Structure 1
Amino acid sequence: MKQKTWPYKSCSHQFTGLPFINKPNKKSTKDRQTRQLNFTSKSSSSSSSSFLSSSKCKEPDFSSLPYDVLARIASSFSLPNLQSASLVCRGWRDALRPLREAMLFLKWGKRFKHGRGGVKPNLKKALDSFLKGAARGSTMAMVDAGLIYWEMGKKEEGIAWYRKAAELGNPAGQCNLGISYLQADPSNAKEAIDWLYQASVAGSVRAQYQLALCWHQGRVLHQNLQEAARWYLRAAEGGYVRAMYNTSLCYASGQGLVQSHRLARKWMKKAADRGHSKAQFEHGLGLFSVREMMKAVVYLELATRAGETAAAHVKDVIVQQLSATSRDRAMHLADNWCALPSTR
């Protein structure tokens, strides 16, 4: 099937306005200095005692959180955040040790799954590593274990691990659980939408795209093009390339969004530059329509290589109108093209 600090309320001193001071004489200056010294010593002793008393009982001691609460909060942390939380105090360091160990198992699981870090791909060892990480509380390991089970055809085991991660607040687990319920036979549509919505609100662009599809197709929800376009746009702004393409279509047709050919071209180019083959074809046609021939050939060539057979015919027509130098330049650009990073 990818922190905000809270405000600290401190005890602030109240300052009063200073009175106008007449020109001092030596006697009054000396008396004032004596009074100031007495005041300073009294206020320092009283403020230190008040600080000690307030620090004893007024401020919450976050380091005394129960382990199960702390583990639930930190179960979705990335490794840098987990390491930072472990530096709060000795209690947190000891309590978060299982989650730090889980991150190591997660790392090795990904190596075995994808054959990285000098190891050969081994799905059995990957699953074993993910399960060890999941047993120590890592929601990311739970999601990866669920994904391997799902790919092995053991869908019930996969859904069980997705649910564990989802209930602990992991957006990827919530998204995968929602999609799993949509694909189940029979589908569990209501619960699927609930989990997709939770993941979408939490910022999962994949869940936002899936939720938009549900609104757009009217398959699970009643068709609502405005809601569909809203979630497409949010996912597109988050970097989800498929949502970029659909957002462009919404702007071009005026479905769910105010019609804007400028914004349609903008999002189509964004999707094309991130490797969406249909967007490359569409963007190439758009460039051809405004007579930007060489650029059009580049995008149409990329679309052709990605399997868009209809792009090849249009490209051949344009190539005949270019000079040999322009043709060679276009092919050179296509050969050296690299997609911009995106969330698929």
Structure 2
Amino acid sequence: MSDRTWPNRSEASHFLTLPFPIKNPIRKHENTSKSTGIQQFRPSSSSRRSDQHRDFAALPNDVLTKIAANFSLPHLQTASLVCKSWRDGLRPLREAMLFLRWGKRFKHGRGGVKPNLEKALESFLKGAARGSTLAMVDAGLVYWEMGKKEEGVALYRKAAELGDPAAQCNLGISYLQAEPPNMKEAVKWLYQASVAGYVRGQYQLALCLHRGGGMNQNMSDAARWYLRAAEGGYVRAMYNVSLCYSLGMGVSQNHRQSRKWMKHAADHGHKKAQFEHGLALFSEGQMMKAVVYLELAGRGGETAAAHVKNVILQQLSPPSRERAFRLADTWRALPSSR
């Protein structure tokens, strides 16, 4: 992935280096004295029976399918246990999961099958026809890769309107990439994905708020969404959060927090963060650790890291050099969202 994430307008910018809703439960009032004339409310026995024995089976299948459209297979299997009516009504979505699985096999060449994008699309479309938003998103991605963007966007929109946050994010990004871009629609869908907790959507929304670009720039909100995405494990957001704290943009300047998030980004594999964290360690005199991060950054394509690393190596003993390179060889990035 490309590590250049901070919005910039100039190549000379220094940033380049850096269950169903139910009614509210009835509140039981405290016992009051008779002098107040207020009696405690008690639901009738018939209403209690109604609350305890809701007829879930009466839910129409089309409504049930829309509610469960973005369910994964485990959630579908659990919902199918509620009653026979739900088991029957959710059968198309369970079938869609099989087509989704085969589509991923054909797309990525897994499970003993050869990669075949046409067969992958065919499987995803069969899953989409059965109402699965997960299959709609994957079919939309394949269409996008084939250059059939209108077909892809149509599927994104259908899934987005059914509440799928990945589709909402992809639809928002498609509006950003349109000619001309439609910032209002992009922010609308990215916001919906963001409040649903989708970290890529949170990061993309933060970029929109950061750049402005047809809308008012709002660094305070941008920093807030960067932080939400970073806390959710999105590596690019970790790097941008570090820059926000370092420069005091959208948040109060805080070098401790900046260092914390730069290290998080570096430990999750962000090459620019590894370079900058290595420089910080060098400035603190932690030579061997600095070499490890600079070596990792250099392997990831940060050419400037090599010069600093070579300067430090001249100050290290042979055993320390060997240990630094051994640590770099065995280093593994922490898991992340992206």
Q: State whether TM-score is above 0.5.
A: yes
Question: Are the structure 2 counterparts of residues 295 and 221 from structure 1 closer, same or farther at C-alpha, using a change threshold of 3 Å?
Answer: same
Residue of structure 1 equivalent to 2:168? 174
- What is the deviation of 1:96? 0.2
Q: What is the rounded CA distance, in whole Å, between the counterparts of 2:316 and 2:106 in structure 1?
A: 49
| Residue pair 1:214, 1:220 contacting (<8 A) in 2 also | no
1:330 matched to 2:324? The reply is yes
| Structure-1-length-normalised TM-score | 0.85
Residue of structure 2 equivalent to 1:55? 49
1:315 matched to 2:312? The reply is no
SS at structure 2 position matched to 1:210: helix
1:283 matched to 2:271? The reply is no
Deviations 1:196-229 (A, max 9, x none): 1111111111111111111111113211111111
| Residue pair 1:251, 1:257 contacting (<8 A) in 2 also | yes
Residue of structure 2 equivalent to 1:223? 217
- What is the deviation of 1:60? 3.1
Given candidates 137, 146, 160, the residue that maps to 1:143 is 137
> What are the residue-to-residue correspondences of 1:152-301 with 2, within 5 Å?
152-301=146-295
Q: Which moved more, 1:83-92 or 1:62-71?
A: 62-71
Given candidates 115, 118, 123, the residue that maps to 1:129 is 123
Question: Are the structure 2 counterparts of residues 168 and 319 from structure 1 closer, same or farther at C-alpha, using a change threshold of 3 Å?
Answer: same
> Quick check: which has more Rg, 1 or 2?
1
- What is the deviation of 1:120? 1.6
Q: Whose helix proportion is higher, 1 or 2?
A: 1
SS at structure 2 position matched to 1:308: coil
Deviations 1:11-41 (A, max 9, x none): 9999x9xxxxxxxxxxxxxxxxxxxxxxxxx
Gaps of 5+ in 1: 17-49
- The aligned amino acid for 2:94 is R
CA-based RMSD: 2.3
Given candidates 54, 59, 63, the residue that maps to 1:65 is 59
- What is the deviation of 1:156? 0.3
Q: What is the rounded CA distance, in whole Å, between the counterparts of 2:47 and 2:281 in structure 1?
A: 72
Q: What is the rounded CA distance, in whole Å, between the counterparts of 2:285 and 2:28 in structure 1?
A: 70
Question: Are the structure 2 counterparts of residues 318 and 161 from structure 1 closer, same or farther at C-alpha, using a change threshold of 3 Å?
Answer: same
Deviations 1:129-154 (A, max 9, x none): 11011001110110010011011110
- Higher-RCO chain (CA-CA 8 Å, sequence separation at least 6): 2
Q: Which moved more, 1:69-78 or 1:115-124?
A: 115-124
> What are the residue-to-residue correspondences of 1:18-167 with 2, within 5 Å?
55=49, 59-167=53-161
| Structure-2-length-normalised TM-score | 0.86
Percentage identity across paired residues of the two chains: 72
Residue of structure 2 equivalent to 1:46? none
- What is the deviation of 1:343? 1.2
Gaps of 5+ in 2: 1-18, 32-43
Question: Are the structure 2 counterparts of residues 194 and 287 from structure 1 closer, same or farther at C-alpha, using a change threshold of 3 Å?
Answer: same
Q: What is the rounded CA distance, in whole Å, between the counterparts of 1:9 and 1:249 in structure 2?
A: 44
| Residue pair 1:145, 1:161 contacting (<8 A) in 2 also | yes
Q: What is the rounded CA distance, in whole Å, between the counterparts of 2:168 and 2:26 in structure 1?
A: 41
Structure 1 residue runs of 4 or more that deviate by more than 4 Å after TM superposition: 4-14, 50-54, 56-59
Question: Are the structure 2 counterparts of residues 5 and 136 from structure 1 closer, same or farther at C-alpha, using a change threshold of 3 Å?
Answer: closer
- The aligned amino acid for 1:158 is G
Residue of structure 1 equivalent to 2:7? none
Q: What is the rounded CA distance, in whole Å, between the counterparts of 2:171 and 2:142 in structure 1?
A: 14
